């Protein structure tokens, strides 16, 4: 069971550890949310599950108890040492613990191609790394399912549809590879220390045929959205290769022209930048 807020404070005091805001150290103290995370991810014995920033091990313990093999990466040395001296002794065969930065190890070392179909991610993502981490994951191999605890703002941005002011490059990349499944709202009261905003369990299921953008096209799309209020025609002038200029013609099929703003263009049309049609 997760530690209560008072138990969490007591343990942190014994470890002489002060939660680091810069690392997004808000520890989950609600057992219902732990169970909901595992239910959404459909975790079963034998699954390969990646966790980012296991912290005090609340979610980690539940995953291990379910029979999953857990790959976890923890940046904080004190928390890594605590987990190594507790959970690793109890689950020596199924816990694979790595100390390091999740941006350097987005799947915590569990990235072998022959296991990609079984990899799931269940994680409480720090806000500061959520988008670059997601971008790293979208470089492959793609986990089959992700259940991510995110600040509501980040979850809304990932799930935004075209026409929404929060729709952007990461929305396009993510929704090209994953389908959005029903998630779950999470109150700030479920954490210690209590964050300033509410969170959301974002639930993503890999598409049968995921679409991945090559790096040059991703960079072009990011550049375009840095000036999202401009018209797409002027933004692309001189930036498309010879064989890609026909992409502007695909916008007419969406009822859009060169005057459209980037946020008005649907995900499928952005994919045509990779495979332009005349």
Q: If you count them, how many residues does the chain have?
A: 278
Please state the CATH superfamily assignment of the domain spanning residues 5-206 in this structure: Vaccinia Virus protein VP39 (3.40.50.150)
CA distance 260 to 99: 46
Q: Count Cβ atoms below 10 Å from residue 265 Cβ, excluding itself.
A: 22
Q: Do 61 and 229 form a contact (C-beta atoms < 8 A)?
A: no
Per-residue pLDDT of the chain (278 residues; tens, 9 = 90+): 566 778 888 888 888 888 787 777 888 999 999 999 999 999 999 999 999 999 999 999 999 999 999 999 999 999 999 999 999 989 999 999 999 999 999 999 996 544 556 799 999 998 889 999 999 999 878 999 999 999 999 999 999 999 999 999 999 999 999 999 999 999 999 998 899 899 999 999 999 999 999 999 999 999 999 998 899 888 887 666 554 567 777 787 778 888 899 999 999 999 988 865 44
Token duo for residue 148: 């991510």
Q: Residue 120's beta-bridge partner residues?
A: 49, 145
Q: Count Cβ atoms below 10 Å from residue 172 Cβ, excluding itself.
A: 26
Residue 39, CA atoms < 13 Å, CB-side half-sphere: 10
Strand order in the sheet with 48-52: 95-99, 69-74, 48-52, 119-124, 145-151, 199-206, 178-186
Spell out the domain ranges in the chain: 5-206, 215-271
**Topology of domain 215-271, CATH:** Helicase, Ruva Protein; domain 3 (1.10.8)
Write the pLDDT tens digit of every residue in 162-200: 999 999 999 999 999 999 999 999 999 999 889 989 999
């Amino acid at each position: 069971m997760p530690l209560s807020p008072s138990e969490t404070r007591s343990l942190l005091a014994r470890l002489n550890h002060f939660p680091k805001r810069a690392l997004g150290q808000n520890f989950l103290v609600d057992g219902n949310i732990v169970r909901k995370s595992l239910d959404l991810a459909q975790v079963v014995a034998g699954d390969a599950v990646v966790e980012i920033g296991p912290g005090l091990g609340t979610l980690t313990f539940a995953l291990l108890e379910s029979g999953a093999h857990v790959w976890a990466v923890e940046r904080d040395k004190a928390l890594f040492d605590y987990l190594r001296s507790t959970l690793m002794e109890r689950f020596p065969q199924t816990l694979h613990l790595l100390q390091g930065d999740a941006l350097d190890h987005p799947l915590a070392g569990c990235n072998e191609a022959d296991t990609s179909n079984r990899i799931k991610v269940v994680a409480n993502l720090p806000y500061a790394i959520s988008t670059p981490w997601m971008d790293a994951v979208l470089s492959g191999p793609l986990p089959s399912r992700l259940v991510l605890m995110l600040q509501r703002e980040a979850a809304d941005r990932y799930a935004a549809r075209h026409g929404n002011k929060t729709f952007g490059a990461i929305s396009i990349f993510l929704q090209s590879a994953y389908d959005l499944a029903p998630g779950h709202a999470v109150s700030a009261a479920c954490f210690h220390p209590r964050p300033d905003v509410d969170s959301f369990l974002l639930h993503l299921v890999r598409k049968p045929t995921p679409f991945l953008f090559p790096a040059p096209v991703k960079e072009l799309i990011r550049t375009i959205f840095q000036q999202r209020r401009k018209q797409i025609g002027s933004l692309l002038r001189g930036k498309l290769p010879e064989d890609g200029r026909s992409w502007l013609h695909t916008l007419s099929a969406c009822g859009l022209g060169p005057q459209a703003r980037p946020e008005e263009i649907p995900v499928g049309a952005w994919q045509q930048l990779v495979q332009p049609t005349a």
